[in-house]
Structure 1
Amino acid sequence: MRIAMFTEVFLPKIDGVVTRVVRTLEHLGEMGHEVLLFAPGEPPAEHAGHRVVRVRSFSLRYLYPELKVGVPTPAIARRMESFRPHVVHTVNPVWLAAYGVLSAGRRDLPLLASFHTDVPQYTESLRIGALRHPAESWIRFLHNKAEVNLCTSGPMVDRARQVGIERVDLWPKAVDTAGYRPSKATGEMRARLTDGHPEAPLVAYVGRMSREKDLGRLVEVMRRLRERVPGARLAMVGSGPYLDELKKRFDPGHTVFTGYLSGADLAAAYASADVFAFPSTTETLGLVALESMASGVPVVGARAGGIPFVIDDGATGFLVESGDVGGWVDRLALLLTDTGRRAAMGRAARAEAERHSWRAATAAVVDYYGRAIETHWSEHRPLNGPLLDRFAKPMPRAVD
């Protein structure tokens, strides 16, 4: 099968969406499928044997500087036409991937769209709430052009349906249980994360340092936690537009900011912590929580978004209401001081993570591609809308 894929984010940027795209590309290649990926920024020319088309882009310098916005051009559509895809997959369509949606419609191609980031909700966190309703309308319009829409957690399936997105199904969660495992812990990384105090109780966060992650909530949580668990430390692994502000707010004597880590260092950082804190209320899944669980480290997360889809409250970690500072302190203190409970939860978390492989998740996506293709051609809908009718360039069905 040939898949033309459009994504709003890709390497070298690192986040949950990029990780899912990267792992999916790898397994699609192993399964014999071919992908032509369109991505903004400075992506590699290929990944896992698939060609990557670099799309001209610009930075949202003052709003979200690490995000590169791809600029649609006619050359993109011509590359897609010459590829003759069986199906088009648009990842989180907002801008570049939105062009993928419209290009697929113009060429009468089967379309699958995946919903990874609740952009309308992010507008509130980024203090541009006036754009919430226009963003919601735009995303609904784009997704409803697709034969199949996928969300990465059960709560986000509900959320998508709530905003009027149709034909929604679940993209199964997955995690790399070979790369992330308890044995990756090292004394060297523990010393690094605790600023030379490896014996100190250690809370960790891994991910983007951005306003919508609600990381500022941990400032008071950690202050009160140290009253209960003297010497407790926090390691913040990652980078982003909110990093400098966070460095000003957290106690520098008990907090380490490592910047981006990857590969063996990232795996060691996960596994070397005692507990993972995840206060974000805007996650569609929370892949970093799964990676922590695969590392045998229980997670305390917000009871919001897709996180309850990952954490079994009381078994693999704890769920806490976002604004309940006392609840956060209680759960973190329990795991830091009760080594038996922490070890049992860590084992349960690892066992749960082992149930979800990238291979199985990718096989499910391939089935959804097949459904999109079958639906498109068996329930063929004529191109609609004055612009599509006027400028349509329908392509014949790819059968080889």
Structure 2
Amino acid sequence: MRIAIVTETFLPSTDGIVTRITKAIEFMCRQGHQVLVIAPDIEGLPEYFEGAKVRGANTIKFFLYKQRPWAIPDSKVKVWLEEFQPDIVHAVNPASLTASAVYYANKLKIPLLCSFHTNLPDYADRYRVGFIKPILWRYIRKMHNKALVNLVTSQAMYDLLEAKDISNLQILPKGVDTINRHPRFHSEEMRHHLCQGNHNKKLLIYVGRLAPEKGIQRLRPLFDQRKDICLAIVGDGPARAELEEVFKNTPTFFTGFLHGKELSMAYASADAFVFPSTSETLGLVITESMASGTPVIAAYSPPTAEQIDHGESGLIYQEESMSTLHQAIDLLEDSQLVEKIRLNGREYAEAFSWDNASQAMLDAYTLAIERYKN
């Protein structure tokens, strides 16, 4: 199969969307499929990835999110699709560049599949431009309803898009690397590094992109009432400088990006993984933490609640209630409960693999092609 994937985010960026796409490309190329990737032309964009050709589209700075460049609709997408002659076009998060994929797939009569990974209308509230939400939903509905299959990452997102009159929905299974995210990567040396001298405190860890919508700043009040915790923030992003100021004079360590074995050790060496974001359509880092044997303490959102059974495979607190977050952290003192959560979380993660998730994506491509023929 010849597969064209057009995406708003790709390497060298690091986030859940990029992880899912790269794992899928690795799998597809191993299976003998030919893949073209069209992505924003940012510094570090590879020319090839795992045998897939990568094309870079022009970028601009967007006034609502000035910290990173965004690709814009580009007529070169038509040229690249005509050259490649794909059997299927996959528009990942059709918004700007990927709107070109939707338009030209239809114009060139190529089967189209879209996937929904970012709840942009929810971001509108967080960036104080909620008045544009109806416009965003009309645009999202228009884009996605041109697709023969629309992939979503959770039942919560399926229900949301169905309520917004978007059709041809299908849930894409999650994936996790249970070999390289594993409790055996626990390292006292890494723990000491992340604690930065606070060895007798509970080590909380956050892993992900540092951006305003992630809600990391909401963890700051913890330090006004507790002296028994330290925090390691793993990742980077547009909000890093602001967050470093917010957490100034607290036992918080910003590591920047970690990869490979170092990231595996960071996950497995913490007392708990804390996840304050309620804007996710899934949150792959939750499953990665579970695979690492580290209890998850997460703010409630419907996609998060799909993954965590409170008190069994993780702990859930209410976003606007610091008292419920304190209660969750206090439960880390219960060694029997923590051990149960570790074991149940690992068992949950073992039910998923990137190969199965990627095969499901391929199956959805086949379904879209069959629907087009019919």
TM-score band (shorter)?
Answer: over 0.9
> Which residue identity does 1:376 align to in structure 2?
Y
> Residues of 1 paired with 2:330 and 2:248: CA distance?
18
> Residues of 1 paired with 2:223 and 2:146: CA distance?
46
Per the alignment, residue 118 of structure 2 pairs with: 117
Taking only the aligned residue pairs, the percentage that are identical comes to 39
- Which of 249, 254, 259 matches 2:256? 259
1:62, distance to aligned residue in structure 2 (A) = 6.5
> Residues of 1 paired with 2:76 and 2:230: CA distance?
51
* Contact 2:36–2:84 (CA under 8 A) maintained in structure 1: yes
Structure 1 residue 351 corresponds to structure 2 residue 352 = no
> Residues of 2 paired with 1:324 and 1:174: CA distance?
31
Aligned length: 372
Per the alignment, residue 368 of structure 2 pairs with: 372
Per the alignment, residue 154 of structure 1 pairs with: 155
Q: Is 168-177 or 213-222 further displaced after alignment?
A: 213-222
Per the alignment, residue 274 of structure 1 pairs with: 271
1:216, distance to aligned residue in structure 2 (A) = 2.1
- Residue 64 and residue 19 in structure 1: after superposition, are their counterparts in 2 closer, same or farther (change >3 A)? farther
1:75, distance to aligned residue in structure 2 (A) = 2.7
> Which residue identity does 2:30 align to in structure 1?
E
Give me the TM-score of the superposition, normalised by structure 1: 0.89
Per the alignment, residue 314 of structure 1 pairs with: 311
Per the alignment, residue 34 of structure 1 pairs with: 34
**Deviations 1:337-363, CA, capped at 9 Å, x for gaps:** 123321221121111111100111111
- Which of 294, 301, 305 matches 2:298? 301
* Contact 2:73–2:99 (CA under 8 A) maintained in structure 1: no
Q: SS at the partner of 1:164?
A: coil
The runs of 5 or more residues in structure 1 that have no matched partner are: 379-400
The runs of 5 or more residues in structure 2 that have no matched partner are: none
* Contact 2:77–2:104 (CA under 8 A) maintained in structure 1: no
Structure 1 residue 129 corresponds to structure 2 residue 125 = no
Per the alignment, residue 232 of structure 1 pairs with: 229
* Contact 1:148–1:372 (CA under 8 A) maintained in structure 2: yes
> Residues of 1 paired with 2:61 and 2:295: CA distance?
36
Q: SS at the partner of 1:323?
A: coil
> Residues of 1 paired with 2:316 and 2:24: CA distance?
29
> Residues of 2 paired with 1:37 and 1:237: CA distance?
28
Per the alignment, residue 286 of structure 1 pairs with: 283
Q: SS at the partner of 1:138?
A: helix
> Residues of 1 paired with 2:249 and 2:165: CA distance?
45
> Residues of 2 paired with 1:86 and 1:4: CA distance?
8
> Which residue identity does 1:364 align to in structure 2?
A
1:64, distance to aligned residue in structure 2 (A) = 4.0
1:222, distance to aligned residue in structure 2 (A) = 4.1
**Deviations 1:206-257, CA, capped at 9 Å, x for gaps:** 1111111112221123433x1xxx4311111112222222222225331111
Give me the TM-score of the superposition, normalised by structure 2: 0.96
- Which of 47, 50, 53 matches 1:48? 50
1:78, distance to aligned residue in structure 2 (A) = 1.4
Q: SS at the partner of 2:181?
A: coil
Per the alignment, residue 199 of structure 1 pairs with: 200
- Residue 221 and residue 159 in structure 1: after superposition, are their counterparts in 2 closer, same or farther (change >3 A)? farther
* Contact 2:73–2:98 (CA under 8 A) maintained in structure 1: no
**Deviations 1:38-89, CA, capped at 9 Å, x for gaps:** 01023111111111111121233772413x3113333321121121111110
> Residues of 2 paired with 1:54 and 1:303: CA distance?
37
1:124, distance to aligned residue in structure 2 (A) = 1.2
Structure 1 residue 188 corresponds to structure 2 residue 184 = no
